[in-house]
Structure 1
């Protein structure tokens, strides 16, 4: 092990001990649960790193707010050149990483250089493609120069990854991707101090944090893969809080606990994203437009939302909600109409057999629907979709696998239908549309077989470069209209976040995005 790496680990261990003894009175502990470990928490990489944990340890230059605006964070101010290509940031003074390393312009540049050294991995994000160079223009002055204007630059700098900052002392050979990092050391309110695989991850409050200190000395994230078991852990007091995307606990458990006030407090966020099934246009039989449109007509989403989701998530008809900027394209929903679905399939030559299943030229009308096997909500939705499609003669085979296997299917296209979500603010719509052009998500694979895929991608590129808001809205609308007509998505519902907590914790609220949980704002409650 290199000397810098040894120093990082020694420094991290000392700070971990300090954090455990420098917290609030009584060194109180907040316990929550998650389906998996949080991962190594490299801020510049993706799965298995969990985004809520990355956002707890690492911070951005600018922070996205729930009202859609951006506020200064590690940068206190910024200016943009008239041509939209140069961004000058003034960095916050007095900030250090949790290992004591100063946060300054050289540290910011080192992180950008590490990200750009792995540019191909981040190609889904258009800002990475657009960066021409970075410059240190003063001890606390950093310059970002693009090769062309890019309207969502500031929004993309606020994302949970990859534009967040790890201590340069934790970088291996000056980078963060080839060999990972020596330790997850950021400027944020929390530090990861222990990982027990399959058991828990423990975070300690960062005593050097520049902002408001966490109300708890420790945050323990217990690994509980099963949603029902997570609900039981909350009921029995094993954990204080469940927070995150709906589906962390079964919807009926959420409703039951919500009715047990004051023993439990529960809340739903406003809609933050869209739950969808992606339909593979490059793989039979969903390469047939009539099949994709029939699927959109055949699923009774109102009944699904009422029975499976217990009405917690409203029905979705489009890839993005109409409230998403630049996303109201004036489209007409497909709507549930089983007779119309049958007619589409009949006219396309898919003939019903005596058993009710359809076939064409000896080929059965059968698709695979892939979902995360430990996600009870996805499984229940998949079973309803399977039953609805069987009624119009489409056979569906359900494939439940671990999350990493489903992610691999999304990337390589081994699916007929597969679960996905839009990413919510601040990703939607610009960053989500940008990612459609890179073969790293299900969206690219779903669209790969479309004859106008090159035109769709070119229009996305033009929209991202448009400096006129009306032109950007027009171009985004063209993309959304093309995808809607091609029926490569089956929107299911508008995804929400949930939180349920015991009286042992107060100050619980939702983050501005689906992937951030503001643990640092929480405080011990009277029930502790």
Structure 2
């Protein structure tokens, strides 16, 4: 059957606009809207180092925000309806069993080194992702079960999987499966991380200096934007400079003084200042996995179900609302409410400190002299290594857990140090969220034979996750996702905390700024008006 687009059943959360009525036009207070114009370098502040800017490998938002500007995808996803629409592929066919996907590419597309974007290039990219192995953090999971890739015609490519793959069409819209030239694919993984990237996107990479900046310049001959783009031809901007500014106060001050144009990570304490100063901003809930703590079940005592369940019961998620952004809300499931097939599981996330104490008593953990529980001389104590601006949330969580006799030690450090520890599986509780506009994100993260953040053996939840990626009937897929989400919570494989939301503030001169479906920034339509 032929598909030019494929709607998902559940729309994502609506884009919230504050400070301006339309992200593509100036606020009413600025007078009549101006026509977009070419020119200018947009200065964008990140709160952390991208680490690896190759979207085939990277998984953090800063890296993927860079990668999106360098590479195009086979398809795109509408941020409000979740519909899959054409981009580099003009149309496609999906077999009845959802195992074979044939894409027909638009002609005249090239990488920035002049080589063509054709069926052979798609094949080379996906095979290169497979060769990256575990380094392909997200992209590798999207291609799990890949059987073969054929090029039946120069501008066609057929991708076949061993089993039905319900998530793949949405995956084809992500920057994680974006396309790069053979010159990039032939580089080492480290060279690619550091900037050896030749894509087909509207911008090209000029330089990347860790903990300082990433500089991009406009590609003058770009002419194949997504069907969701608001204009044709090249990007409006001459370039983009991403600046790494970890301190929230410095980012805010730089925005107010005009030293930067966009702050991609507005701190909760700065939201009131934005409103009082009438600074434009856009906010949007992130689909995917909520901010959570994932227990490493290869370490005692997190291998005990009762201990993990007690941690979940000890958390008062409603109390978090007082310190998180008004654009966020306490978790009611492992999936954010803006994710397709989300179901409210808040009944399994009820604050029950007495129930937590009973579980810990039954597991042999008794209060020590300082109130922290002890068993066989071991304290019930866990460390969380994190880099995000979430200290107030984790400090409140620390207080809540202490009330039932659990010690939570907080270690805020750099993203590179946290990533290194996580890669080495050197953690007790992993604090993270993961954005994706498809519920298959659960399989990506929790599958025991996959990324397996819990470091656990195969259980019933894995069979549910695997079947949900194969089943084609939407209602059956919904049932499987709902069952897997509930089991992840009930068995303590995940401790959901609060839903992520992205709040981006910008100067009055910035126009056309918007989020794509995964709540990451796409700068192709962005332009700078005269100050």
* Residue number in structure 1 paired with 2:113: 99
Alpha-carbon separation, structure 1, partners of 2:504 and 2:350: 31
Give the corresponding residue for 1:446. Answer: 454
Is structure 2 residue 288 aligned with structure 1 residue 288? no
SS class of match (1:476): helix
What is the correspondence of 1:34-73 to structure 2 with a 5 Å cutoff?
34-38=46-50, 41-46=53-58, 50-66=63-79, 67-73=81-87
Of 193, 198, 221, the residue aligned with 2:211 is 198
Contact 1:358 1:393 in 2 (8 A): yes
TM-score, normalised to structure 2, is 0.84
In 2, Cα distance between the equivalents of 1:88 and 1:133? 12
Cα displacement (A) at 1:101: 1.8
2:269 pairs with 1:252 = yes
Equivalent-residue separation in structure 2 for 1:42 and 1:298 (angstroms)? 39
- 1:481 is paired with a residue whose SS is helix
Write out aligned runs for 1:174-185 (5 A).
177=189, 180=192, 183-185=196-198
Give the equivalent residue in structure 2 for 1:15.
Answer: none
Partner of 2:43: 31
- In structure 1, C-alpha distance between the alignment counterparts of 2:54 and 2:267, rounded to whole Å: 31
CA offset digits 1:440-467 (Å, max 9, x no partner): 75xx242516xxx343223322221112
Matched residues in 1 for 2:298 and 2:464: separation?
21
Choose 144-153 or 56-65, whichever is displaced more.
144-153
CA shift for structure 1 position 219: 0.8
**CA 271–134 in structure 1, closer or farther in 2 if over 3 Å, else same:** closer
Corresponding residue number in structure 1 for 2:525: 521
Q: What is aligned with 2:28?
A: none
Point out where structure 2 has 5 or more consecutive residues left out of the alignment.
1-35, 226-231
Question: In 2, distance between residues paired with 1:513 and 1:473?
Answer: 20
Alpha-carbon distance in 2 for matches of 1:107, 1:401: 39
Structure 1 position 27, deviation (Å): 3.5
192 and 37 in structure 1: CA distance in 2 versus 1, 3 angstrom threshold: farther
Residue 199 of structure 1: CA displacement?
Answer: 2.4
In 2, the alpha carbon distance for the partners of 1:517 and 1:105 equals: 28
Match of 1:350 in 2: 365
Q: Does 1:457 align with 2:462?
A: yes
CA contact (8 A) 1:423 1:432 kept: no
Residue of structure 2 aligned with 1:493, choices 495, 498, 503: 498
SS in 1 for 2:144: helix
* CA positional deviation for 1:51: 0.7
2:252 and 2:116 map into 1 onto residues whose CA distance is: 42
1:353-502 correspondence runs (5 A)? 353-372=368-387, 375=388, 377-425=389-437, 428-437=438-447, 441=451, 444-446=452-454, 448=456, 453-502=458-507
Preserved CA contact (<8 Å) 2:97 2:472? no
Structure 1 residue 301 corresponds to structure 2 residue 322: no
Q: 2:91 is matched with which residue?
A: 77
Q: CA deviation at 1:195?
A: 2.5
1:285-342 deviation line (CA, Å, top 9, x unaligned): 3223222222222222222221x21433111131013553334276723312333322
Shift of 1:370: 2.0
Aligned ranges 1:113-132 → 2 under 5 Å: 113-119=127-133, 121-122=135-136, 125-132=140-147
CA distance in 1, matches of 2:123, 2:284: 36
Query: Structure 1 residues 285 and 311, CA, compared in 2 at 3 Å: closer, same or farther?
Result: farther
- Count how many residue pairs are aligned between Structure 1 and Structure 2: 483
State how far apart, in whole Å, the 1-side matches of 2:482 and 2:449 are.
Answer: 22
Write the distance in 2 (CA, Å) between the matches of 1:81 and 1:518: 31
Shift in Å at residue 489 of structure 1? 1.7
TM-score normalised to structure 1 length: 0.84
**In 2 relative to 1, CA 170–353 (structure 1 residues): closer, same or farther, beyond 3 Å?**
closer
Unaligned runs of 5+ in 1: 1-23
* Alignment partner, residue 11 of structure 1: none
Aligned to 2:104: 90
Report the CA distance shift for 1:445/1:25 in structure 2 as closer, same or farther (over 3 A): closer
Q: Deviations over 1:406-439 (max 9, x none)?
A: 22333443222221113231xx311331442367
2:113 and 2:353 mapped to 1: Cα distance? Answer: 61
